[in-house]
Structure 1
């Protein structure tokens, strides 16, 4: 009998401990954090057990996204009605809950500057959930020494001189897309295209060529699988934020996610190991991203004679998967919104075309000519202001000061890009209006860059920014040389956030006309 009691206690105590720990995490701790923040004047929606504000957020989003909006750039009330309500009520900072995780939104420039400078090192990038790790890791998710090591090794691959070598791949793939359009326009001289899908295919082809070179077809297959993984991961929002253990349930979606994860890693490992042998024998081509990365990594290893100073094969695999999100998804989205915005503002489309024809003519764009496209650059920056991708979130790893506030450990801090890019104090009363002139040299003003995060990565310049901007300028220039474009009558305006990218909910049907 005594033995039975001891066995029962031995079983019950661990279970009770886990239950108490879970109750602390989803019950007591959120309320304690909420009270501590309220005492400092940081208010918001109250915490709801387990789900936080996710349920009400999703319900409000569902209603808001049930129909299109007017054709303008004021989409925040539709994008996230709960956030809009809180921002309207509390202005510069407020609290809401992603499950049991507290998230404080800050829009005060001084606090943003302090957060991003991170001199104390207490503001870190949030840890990825197990679901998200099946999709992407890499440089954008790291902090500290690992970030510094990867950034140092990756830098040479994105140097301007190296990007010039990729211009031919950019141009070749774009010509292929335009040739396809020529066939579709036929004798009528025009056709309707789903432009987002066109740009996804194009940027996927470009990235496959630029990243993997001779392994172009295998690269296309890898990025195709990652696209599917992207959709599978971000259709499981509640599972990601509240019930991460659901990944262990052998559902059809979970099995497919795991299959894609293993297949992509196996394919990349094969490509990388083959390249490693080529690098060691001196036969590797160093004009694609993977070749440049492998060469830089080898030089780092040889220079330090310390294996910990370089990247492992697993590290390289992670960076290759991050190429997909940074190089395809965000670039295709920027091209799509630029095309949509230029149909909404045909005067700027004509100004851009006139500049392209004056500087480049009908020839293939040269690298130096792309840098001379002032109007095109202004347009792209204004599109990035109004339709930014990415999200800027940091997390406290211990109780810390931010301005006059004391932020508890484990609190996430959000800088809402769409909102601060529309801040009238920084951008003027016309902040909701498309006005590329605000990015001309004579209109720039000191301090504006603090409230502008075109690629969503914070105070550090995004490593792939030059890659993306050069690619987008070239694609846009080649389209403007040959085609004009206008919105299809079937277009419905509905910007929506998919993962970390702002995309058109109803697609982007556009009519292109041969000039």
Structure 2
């Protein structure tokens, strides 16, 4: 066949995903900032499950179906890496910790850290976790005595931080220090989104919030490194830090340096604290507005536990508690997007994905996809029963990511959440405050703007 004939048979170039129209210079950014999730859902309805978003300073391909998550995060994960402005912004705080590291270094760190989250290790951490939960209940007790409105979101932040500090470092923080750590972490996590845009600006240019961001990082480092040093001097071995301190890579025989230890400790600390606290806050927002759900939780806890302190063995019986967490994380996934950068040209849904392009597996859109979830905006924990979960795409629910990069602390977080739900349901009646609806705050994660305010009463037994 002639060269001309071969050319005639050549396949036409694939089209790029359709682009969401916008205005000059800033593209779709104004609409996105005004009403982020509704804007993206409307774009999905107009353009389909894959489309290009013009952000003015850059383009991003938005992916909103479980098959996209399967492609980018699992089947073709080698073609996509954690590059681009958002990951560089995150590295200013997380260093080269597990959530942001890549390649052979990531594989080595994962090998060293994975044993800390094996089943038997989680069992060993149960007692520490429950002690930390119970030590965090005085605020609930006071609210129950006084009848004053109570911010469950702030209470869960303090509680999960106490749990993480106890599990990670083996000892707690003073109340004032824990509160400042929580405030610093919240600011850092929110600023990362702004840092994505401003990171390339020169150092001499005053950027709002940058100095506070750096000060917050310095404070977190001071606290974490102090506790690490205390851990080095301690003979205690039943916490995550001691496991990291003594972890040895089986292939190289190496241990972590102080800098690597800091990065991994901070990364685990943030991941374990933020996701669980936010998920629990939204769980109580939802249950107090669906009182029958809270009653079902209490009935399950009464049946399984009575007034006994729960143990690891009872977790598998607290199925409704786990389903409440799953449904809350579906409706309000703290990590609502998973950005990647394509390292080579790829094809997805018949569209071209150019090399070097930012793609975003948009968790929130996947969790609300009407072809995947029946009545996707409705709170329905029973959608996670085995019967109703059968046949659902594996990547339809991914608040902890997917594939090799699945969050290493997923089971730790869910275990912690089940214990917290059980201990509160054993002790308190919790109800909504009429007219005080939690509002979305969308930063680097989804949190409740101005808290989740509830009434707490001692439970009538």
Question: Please, what TM-score do these two structures have when normalized by structure 2?
Answer: 0.87
* Residues 1:289 and 2:234 are matched in the alignment: no
Q: 1:284 to 1:245 in 2, by over 3 A?
A: farther
The residue that corresponds to 1:134 in the other structure is: 92
* Deviation digits for residues 177-219 of structure 1 (CA, Å, limit 9, x no counterpart): 3333223433x6x4420110111111111111111114x3389
Superposed displacement of residue 44, structure 1:
1.5
Q: Which moved more, 1:466-475 or 1:39-48?
A: 39-48
SS at match of 1:80: helix
Which of residues 407, 411, 416 in structure 1 aligns to 2:357? 411
Which residue is equivalent to 1:254? 210
Q: Deviation string for 1:406-464 (max 9, x for gaps)?
A: 21122111122222112222223x22222222211222222432211132456643211
Q: Determine the structure 2 residue equivalent to 1:3.
A: none
Calculate the aligned-residue CA RMSD, in Å.
2.9
Can you give the 5+ residue segments of structure 1 that lack an aligned partner in the other structure?
1-35, 62-78
State how far apart, in whole Å, the 2-side matches of 1:458 and 1:401 are: 19
Alignment of 1:109-120 (within 5 A): 109-119=66-76
Taking a change above 3 Å as real, the CA distance of residues 316 and 95 of structure 1, as seen in their structure-2 partners, is: same
Does residue 21 of structure 2 align to residue 45 of structure 1?
A: yes
In 2: Cα distance, 1:370 partner to 1:397 partner:
42
Residues in 1 aligned to 2:67 and 2:208: alpha-carbon distance in whole angstroms = 48
**1:38 and 1:487, CA in 2 relative to 1: closer, same or farther beyond 3 A?**
farther
CA deviation after TM superposition for structure 1 residue 259, in Å:
3.3
1:505 aligns with 2:449: yes
Q: CA deviation at 1:372?
A: 1.1
SS of the counterpart of 2:386?
coil
Distance (whole Å) between structure 2 residues aligned to residue 218 and residue 184 of structure 1 = 20
Aligned residue for 1:13?
A: none
Match runs of 1:418-497 below 5 Å: 418-428=364-374, 430-456=375-401, 460-497=405-442
> Which is worse superposed, 192-201 or 284-293?
284-293
1:114 partner SS: helix
**Alpha-carbon distance between aligned partners in 2 of 1:385 and 1:248, rounded to the nearest angstrom:** 42
Is 1:338 matched with 2:283?
yes
Mapping for residues 34-113 of structure 1, pairs under 5 Å: 39-46=15-22, 48-49=24-25, 51-58=26-33, 60-61=34-35, 79-113=36-70
| Contact preservation (8 Å) 1:131, 1:247 | no
1:371 aligns with 2:313: no
Determine if contact 2:326/2:381 at 8 Å carries over to the other structure: yes
CA shift, 1:221, in A, is 4.1
Larger Rg over CA atoms: 1
Asked if the contact 1:212–1:219 (Cα under 8 Å) also holds between the matched residues in 2, the reply is: no
User: Hey, what's the Cα distance between the residues in 1 that align with 2:298 and 2:228?
Assistant: 42
In the alignment, which residue of structure 2 is the partner of 1:150?
Answer: 109
Partners of 2:23 and 2:343 lie apart in 1 by 21
SS in 2 for 1:503: strand
Residue 241 of structure 1 is matched in structure 2 by 197
For residues 43-100 of structure 1, the C-alpha deviation after alignment (integer angstroms, 9 at most, x for no partner) is 2225743x44334433x24xxxxxxxxxxxxxxxxx4343233122112111113443
Secondary structure of the 2:309 match is coil
User: Taking structure 1 as the reference length, what is the TM-score of the superposition?
Assistant: 0.78
Counterpart Cα distance in 1 of 2:331 and 2:31: 26
- Separation of aligned partners in 1, 2:448 and 2:32: 20
CA contact (8 A) 1:232 1:253 kept: no
Number of aligned residue pairs: give it. Answer: 445
Instruction: Check conservation: 2:15, 2:352, Cα contact below 8 A.
Output: no
Instruction: Note the alpha carbon deviations across 1:449-483, whole angstroms, 9 max, x for none.
Output: 22111324566432111111111111110110111
